[in-house]
Amino acid sequence: MNMLFDDQQLDTRARLVKAAAAIFVEQGFGAAKVRDIVARADANIAAVNYHFGSKEGLYAAVIQYHSAQAMENLSQQVTGSRRRVPAAQLRDFVRTFLQRLLTDTPQFTMGKLVAREMVEPTAAFNLIMEKFVLPQYHALRAIIRSMVGAAPPEELVRRCCLSVVGQCLYYQSARQVVSVLDPEFDYGEKDIDRLAEHIVAFSLGGVHQLVRSGTTAARKPRPARADDR
């Protein structure tokens, strides 16, 4: 239990964490098979129970390991863009979020694990929520709030946050659908950048639209608009 990752000659424990991370991301915790993991790690079946106690313990280790670097990414992201215009902050947020969600390098494994937990929660759900989802959510909420001012109700800000996140997450959770509807999209850096541009522009328009209609329209009875009926 000395250093976890060397580089070349990893010990069994480290190889297991690495292989498990990949398979958990690909298939989710439930569908992942321990035998597949140890096969990829080139280790023996008993190793996972010896080192981690159980499959769940291995999953916890994967999360814990990837948490560390993901967490510092997070904090440097938040502090890094404090001084900018809200719209630029949103751009940074979406770009980073999409990168973590869609890029395939092992550096961004945590983002995909979090996405999995959202759609298919496991025992680690609460931990993931408070360690990753909520901080991210609060960051995004602050950005949106600074864009709309103090007047609009909290609910509007919350809905906008979920709209932004929903747009992003769809490209990861529904990859199969995207690959049919948009076969060109190959999740490369270029594609991700273009997608980020789109989602930012779309969301900026959405937020502004809501501020506009929120200030002019009545509150309770839905105002009859031109597009009704």
Partner DNA sequence: AACGGTATCAAACTGTTGTTTTAATCACAA
Partner DNA sequence: TTGTGATTAAAACAACAGTTTGATACCGTT
Check: CB of residue 214 under 8 Å from CB of residue 157.
no
| Residue 159 makes contact with a second copy by CB under 8 A | yes
Indicate the residue type of 138.
H
In the chain, beta strands by DSSP E: none
Structure tokens at 65: 């390991």
Nearest partner of 58 among 71, 74, 41, judged by Cα: 41
- Within 80-99, which residues bind a second copy (CB under 8 A)? 84-88, 91
CB neighbourhood size of 157 (10 A) = 20
Binding-site member from 1, 150, 218, 226 for DNA (CB under 7 A)? 1
Residue with Cβ nearer a second copy (35 or 212) = 212
State the binding partner of 127 from a second copy, DNA, none, CB within 5 to 8 A by kind.
none
Say how far apart CA 177 and CA 184 lie, in whole Å.
Answer: 13
Check: CB of residue 47 under 8 Å from CB of residue 10.
no
**Contact flags string 2-31 toward DNA, x per CB under 7 A:** ---------xxx------------------
Listed in sequence order, the residues at least 6 apart from 221 whose beta carbon sits closer than 8 Å to its beta carbon are none
Residue with Cβ nearer a second copy (104 or 130) = 130
**Smallest gap from residue 35 Cβ to DNA (A):** 6
* Contacts to DNA by CB under 7 A: 1, 11-13, 32-35, 43-51, 53-56
* Contacts to a second copy by CB under 8 A: 28, 30-31, 84-88, 91, 118-121, 125, 129, 133-134, 137, 156, 158-163, 165-171, 173-174, 176-178, 180-182, 195, 197-199, 201-210, 212-213, 222, 225-229
